[in-house]
Amino acid sequence: MTGHGKPAGDPGERHARAALSFLADPGDPVLGELLRHCPPADVVAAVAAAGSWREALPASSRQVPGLDRAFARWRSRVGEVPPGRRIAAWERAGYRLVGPGDPEWPTQLDDLGTARPVVLWLCGPADLRYSCLRSVSIVGSRAASAYGAHVAGEIAADLAGRGWTVVSGGAYGIDASAHRGALAPGGSTVAVLASGLGFGYPKGHYELFEAIAGSGALVSESPPDRAPTRPGFLIRNRVIAALSRGTVVVEAALRSGALNTARQASDLGRVVMAVPGPVTSDRSAGCHELIRQWGAACVTCAQDVTELLAPLGEDQGQGPDRGPVVPASELDPVTRAVLAAVPRRPGRGPAAIALMAGVGLDTAVRCLGLLAAAGHVERCEQGWRARRSPR
């Protein structure tokens, strides 16, 4: 159950959160605090109400600081909220909405507190929650050197080969090298964009984003057609930091945005790592500062990274074909019944799975999310199918 009594994955709440992604900027602290006191649908109704917002909200939520200016800002954007059929069209086109309480929601994002995303727009077959159970963020300079691009690609490829998901921001330079490195061995990578997924910034990465969406996941807090804003790049970094167990900075100047991601990771209690570079290179000055003043761990390869992130003996996965995190024998009877109704190929829709398992659709959807997070099933064009066993 979510905090305001709605069932996990409730479609009404999810669509209300989608509306809020048009009304408020990502990371809006006033909205984050307000959602601790009342459900998203109540906030949307209060924004749309003709009278005072105070009359439309529960008394317990009226003391949140900054509400007057926030509501003025949100109400100025009411015209930007599309009709429900437009959101449904985006969902048919392959975009999906994931919010707190949904089976695919990565619970580590809850560490962000009131800065937690209101909702995420996703594209791609990878289950975000499962993908981020073992994930590493790799970030760095947009103006990467040949050395930095090579190191980022090598570390990402080796991590992906060991079964780790590589998370980055889809930007030029180190981000792109990390994504491409993870894709090379058939591994999983997640790109958290500062723009909407349909806008796809930077435009020069169209083919890269297509490749990521083909096997991994594209993620954004913004609606699909939204262009990025200058503050949005730094605000986006908190999601990159929160999704993963640790952050590796490969190259960064002293004023690089990658250092912001490292600081966010440190504030969240994640492991911060940095790759050393030539002492004569301005592009590595930020990495050296992280090691010297922030206590970041010095890493030079994927082995260094996994030794810091994985408890002794845990990092034994053999790439993308590793087995489930939770054995089928340890699942509850209802979840096992849903698993038994999932075919190996070509796939089956959730309604058909629910019918075969003898459970309600909401129960089937919840169980499928849990099974995906545990590594038993995966999304496909036809719906859901069982993941293949390790070789």
SS (H, E, C) 53-82: HHHHCCHHHCCCCCHHHHHHHHHCCHHHCC
pLDDT digits over 33-43, tens only? 999 988 999 99
- SS3 (DSSP) at 211: helix
Most confident of 278-282, 321-325, 371-375: 278-282
Q: In this predicted structure, what is the pLDDT of residue 323?
A: 60
One-letter amino acid at 200 equals G
Q: In this predicted structure, what is the pLDDT of residue 379?
A: 79
9 phi-psi bin (left φ>0, alpha ψ -120 to 50, beta other): left
Fold (CATH) for 323-386: Arc Repressor Mutant, subunit A (1.10.10)
Band (pLDDT 50/70/90 cuts) for residue 366 is confident
Q: How many CB atoms lie within 10 A of CB 32?
A: 18
Band (pLDDT 50/70/90 cuts) for residue 114 is very high
Most confident of 87-91, 250-254, 323-327, 350-354: 250-254
Q: In this predicted structure, what is the pLDDT of residue 200?
A: 95
Owner of token pair 């190929």: 345
Q: In this predicted structure, what is the pLDDT of residue 363?
A: 85
Q: In this predicted structure, what is the pLDDT of residue 41?
A: 92
Mean pLDDT of 30-58: 88
Band (pLDDT 50/70/90 cuts) for residue 156 is very high
Mean pLDDT estimate for the chain: 89
Let me know the angle formed at the C-alpha of 118 by 384 and 235, rounded to the nearest 5 degrees.
110
Mean pLDDT of 56-65: 81
Cβ-contact 25, 31 below 8 angstroms:
no
One-letter amino acid at 89 equals A
Domain assignments of the chain as residue spans, ordered by start: 11-93, 121-309, 323-386
Mean pLDDT of 320-342: 79
Q: In this predicted structure, what is the pLDDT of residue 286?
A: 97
Radius of gyration over every alpha carbon of the chain, rounded to an integer in angstroms: 21
Cβ-contact 378, 385 below 8 angstroms:
yes
Compute the distance between CA of residue 236 and CA of residue 143 in angstroms, rounded to an integer. Answer: 19
Q: In this predicted structure, what is the pLDDT of residue 55?
A: 79
Q: Rounded to 5 degrees, what are φ and ψ at 272?
A: -110, 130
Q: In this predicted structure, what is the pLDDT of residue 319?
A: 47
> In this prediction, what percent of the chain has a pLDDT beyond 90?
66
pLDDT digits over 212-257, tens only? 999 899 999 999 999 999 999 999 999 999 999 999 999 999 999 9
One-letter amino acid at 188 equals S
Q: In this predicted structure, what is the pLDDT of residue 331?
A: 82
Q: Which CATH architecture has domain 121-309?
A: 3-Layer(aba) Sandwich (3.40)
Lowest average pLDDT, out of 36-50, 189-203, 313-327, 360-374, goes to 313-327
Task: Reply yes or no on whether the pLDDT at 277 is more than 50.
Answer: yes
